[in-house]
């Protein structure tokens, strides 16, 4: 019998960040289609702009982000308190909230298709959405971790600071972060491309 834990880790390492703006735009385009396109797109926007895990994104409530675009949350996986900066997507987030049928600050920001605002979409539910997009795009490297890895990859490219990325992603050492966002292989290949003896 296959060890599920080992199998899960294998899947996460196969998932890659979206390295180009074009790839990000294409995923956004495919996500925005369909009855729940606005919700699915906003989950993706929060993910690629904050580095939050999907399990933390789906748990967000309207009241957490409505008036405070730098709220504190407790991460599901680590239990650690983390401040999330949503200022960069505040306009899109406010527009999304206005278009929904929310009645209370306790409503889930990303409701389940079946249970409306009383339950949130599950990580597995969003995984299925991403897999559908992956199929439509003819790719084989997308998953829920694509959002977090995309954030880490582009934040590193902008800051050139693996320490800052490591801090935001809550990793314990730089080698984990580099491997997670796919920087190590890329850096080595870039250096080797013009290495001649």
| Catalytic residue set | 53, 77, 145, 148, 171, 180
Judge whether 42 and 48 are in contact, CB under 8 Å.
no
Name the strand (E) or helix (H) holding 149. Answer: helix 145-159
CA 139 to each of CA 9, 30, 143: distance values in angstroms, whole numbers, following the listed order:
19, 13, 11
User: Token match 């369909």: residue?
Assistant: 34
CA 109 to each of CA 44, 81, 85, 196: distance values in angstroms, whole numbers, following the listed order:
13, 20, 16, 54
Range list of β-strands (E), the chain: 72-74, 81-83, 111-112, 116-120
Q: Residue 96's CB: how many other CB atoms inside 10 A?
A: 19
What is Dmax (Cα atoms) for the chain?
68
């Amino acid at each position: 019998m296959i060890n599920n834990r080992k199998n899960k880790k294998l899947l996460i390492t196969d998932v890659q960040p979206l390295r180009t703006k074009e790839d990000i735009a294409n995923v956004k385009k495919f996500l925005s289609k369909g009855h729940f396109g606005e919700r699915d797109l906003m989950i993706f926007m929060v993910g690629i702009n904050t580095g939050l895990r999907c399990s933390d994104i789906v748990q967000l409530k309207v009241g957490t982000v409505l008036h405070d675009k730098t709220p504190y949350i407790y991460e599901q996986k680590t239990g650690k308190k983390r401040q999330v900066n949503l200022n960069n997507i505040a306009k899109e987030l406010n527009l999304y909230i206005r278009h929904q049928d929310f009645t209370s600050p306790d409503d889930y920001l990303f409701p389940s298709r079946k249970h409306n605002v009383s339950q949130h979409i599950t990580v597995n539910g969003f995984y299925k959405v991403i897999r559908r997009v992956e199929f439509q795009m003819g790719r084989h490297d997308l998953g829920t971790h694509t959002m977090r890895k995309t954030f880490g990859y582009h934040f590193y490219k902008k800051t050139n600071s693996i320490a800052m990325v490591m801090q935001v992603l809550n990793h314990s050492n730089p080698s984990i972060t580099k491997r997670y966002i796919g920087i190590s292989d890329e850096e080595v290949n870039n250096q080797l491309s013009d290495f001649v003896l």
